[in-house]
Amino acid sequence: MDDFPKTEANYAPLTPVQFLRRAAAVHGRKTAIVHGELRRSYAEFGARARALASALRKAGIRRGDRVSVMLPNIPEMLEAHFGVPGAGAVLNAVNTRLDPAAVAFIVSHAESRILIVDREYEAAMRAASEARPDLIVIMVEDDAGGASGSDYERFLETGDPGEDFLDPLDEWDSIALNYTSGTTGDPKGVLYHHRGACLNAFGNAMTFGLSTETSYLWTLPMFHCNGWSYPWAVTAAGGTHVCLRRIEPRKVFDLIAEERVTHLCAAPVVLTMLQHAPASDRRSFVHGPVRIATGGAAPPSAVIDGMERLGFSVTHLYGMTECFGPSTVCVPQEDWADLPLSERAALMARQGVNLVTLAEQTVLDAEDRPVPADGRTLGELCLRGNTVMKGYFRNPKATAETLRGGKLRTGDLAVLHPDGYVEIKDRAKDVIITGGENVSSLEVEEILYRHPAVMEAAVVARPDPKWGETPCAFVTLKPGIENVDAAEVIAFCRGHLAGFKIPRSVVFGDLPKTSTGKIRKYVLRERARELDATAAS
């Protein structure tokens, strides 16, 4: 009964590279990529990515070799997502905001053979070349598509667009190497397999409703978990990629209107930025609902609420680099539609349930037992399935620790609600412990965001001789508002939070953020530690 062999007829390794092979054939004349004035069809996108794969092989790249790229969200970055794995190589997309030393560390740790880099990051490129003298550097000049004559264009000319992509020998072969931000030591290199990349692209395409009608705006950096797998997902669907080199609210609104954008992804801080953009930067759109997926940090319900009021339909995703980006989604239930927006937004601010392509999500207590579904008991969110990383490159110890007991340990503390939805209360390292009680910084932030004058807020622990730690709030007020003081913010919290959770100190000003849209809490923790009694109220 079960002695059928796998043959070429009935078994092909899963890989997202296949999506472009198919899209180029099926949607050949359709616009695949928009970048400023430039429009490229799927036939052209396919030909250029194949030329890249072929050129890489001619330059000596062999299966498993690493190719680093440091590029904004421009067409070359999309080409790399197919051309590099299509040459059998592993794509190492480097965070474009990193300083030269961090880039040099990554390119050396990854043992990259080639670096494809935008002219804007020349300083990082120089540091990488010094750290790895044999590194071949290919410079990209982006002038919104008219980039003839660059290193990259000359390099493509050495390749043969008629040569097909290589398929992986095994779907477990590595496709990408993505470094974590390394806030707690050197960055770790997360290795992805073709199988997971393919499945996570399917899971996301399905969750977010992508189709041939999709016009996808690239607000999310493609270097972040391979753009949450959307370079592959949008191509699988045969949608259109709308490139965006740099996020400016005005540009985002213009592109949404002009390119009839249907879908975009962005971290919550970008949503806040769009909501509070000056009226002169905003544009209304009438071409239908615009779906925006957010994640990467917890979106306060006030932010979801505000986006829906602007006419966006919000999808809330959760994930981390170690699981190819988005892995859970807050699936809206039918009866939520009848709820008042603020109540619906509160339900949607939860991280939700596993994507259809993730085997399991559980919340485990300190003894590795599932917590009760009571919405109260805190445990660690753990994930399991085909969209979990292979491990950390050249770091068996951290790999074993993070994947121990057959689960990906996320380091996020969550509760399980009676309806089976998880809600993250904090990253383990961000919890505030005051007088022996745990305070979830996200819970306090959720309340602060509801204050009508507050645009952004982050709460961290401030050392305290009596309580150990107390909550310290850092707050940015909405543009034009100045007459709100700490006492008022604290009084507002008193109406919504238990006494020990109320911030003891409130500091006003801009919040430091990472390039992937997270508030840099460790920077704020340092600031809180250094606050003297007079600076905080």
Interface residue list for ligand ADP (CB under 6 A): 180-181, 295-298, 316, 318-321, 351, 410-412, 424, 427, 516, 518
Residue closer to ligand ADP (CB basis): 181 or 537: 181
Q: What is the DSSP string of 316-375?
A: EEEEEGGGTEEEEE-PPPGGGGGS-HHHHHHHHTS-BEE-TT--EEEEE-TTSPBPPSSS
SS3 breakdown of the chain: % helix, strand, coil, rounded to 5? 35, 25, 40
Q: The tokens of 367 are what?
A: 């003894």
Residue closer to ligand ADP (CB basis): 40 or 521: 521
Residue closer to ligand ADP (CB basis): 33 or 320: 320
Residue closer to ligand ADP (CB basis): 204 or 240: 204
| Rounded-to-integer distance, Cα 457 and Cα 447, Å | 9
Q: The tokens of 74 are what?
A: 């421009």
Residue closer to ligand ADP (CB basis): 40 or 518: 518
Residue closer to ligand ADP (CB basis): 48 or 316: 316
| Rounded-to-integer distance, Cα 265 and Cα 516, Å | 12
Q: What is the DSSP letter of 164?
A: P
Residue closer to ligand ADP (CB basis): 150 or 351: 351
Give me the count of residues in the chain. Answer: 537
For residue 87, CA distances in Å to 83, 90, 151, 206, 374 come to: 6, 9, 19, 28, 50
Report yes or no: 380 and 361 within 8 Å, Cβ to Cβ.
Answer: no
| Rounded-to-integer distance, Cα 251 and Cα 258, Å | 10
Report yes or no: 506 and 489 within 8 Å, Cβ to Cβ.
Answer: yes
Residue closer to ligand ADP (CB basis): 218 or 318: 318
Q: What minimum distance in Å lies between the beta carbon of 398 and ligand ADP?
A: 13
| Rounded-to-integer distance, Cα 28 and Cα 80, Å | 19
Residue closer to ligand ADP (CB basis): 142 or 412: 412
Q: The tokens of 242 are what?
A: 């709308």
| Rounded-to-integer distance, Cα 233 and Cα 24, Å | 14
Q: What minimum distance in Å lies between the beta carbon of 463 and ligand ADP?
A: 23
Query: Residue 427 in 3-state DSSP?
Result: strand
The H or E element that residue 522 is part of is helix 521-530
| Rounded-to-integer distance, Cα 364 and Cα 379, Å | 5
Q: What minimum distance in Å lies between the beta carbon of 236 and ligand ADP?
A: 22
Q: What minimum distance in Å lies between the beta carbon of 73 and ligand ADP?
A: 17
For residue 24, CA distances in Å to 27, 51, 259 come to: 6, 14, 21
> Which segments of 150-286 are extended strands (E)?
174-179, 189-193, 215-217, 240-242, 263-266
Residue closer to ligand ADP (CB basis): 65 or 412: 412
Residue closer to ligand ADP (CB basis): 19 or 228: 228
Q: Which of 225, 385, 390, 248 is nearest to 317 (CA)?
A: 225
98 Cβ contact partners less than 8 Å away, ≥ 6 residues apart: 106, 124
Q: What minimum distance in Å lies between the beta carbon of 323 and ligand ADP?
A: 8
Name beta bridge partners: 256. Answer: none
Residue closer to ligand ADP (CB basis): 95 or 150: 95
Residue closer to ligand ADP (CB basis): 155 or 318: 318
For residue 328, CA distances in Å to 154, 314, 320, 331, 505 come to: 42, 14, 10, 9, 34
Q: What minimum distance in Å lies between the beta carbon of 430 and ligand ADP?
A: 8
Residue closer to ligand ADP (CB basis): 96 or 410: 410
**Which stretches within 354-480 are classed as H helix?**
396-402, 441-448
Q: What minimum distance in Å lies between the beta carbon of 317 and ligand ADP?
A: 6
Q: What minimum distance in Å lies between the beta carbon of 56 and ligand ADP?
A: 28
What residue type is assigned to position 155 of the chain? Answer: F
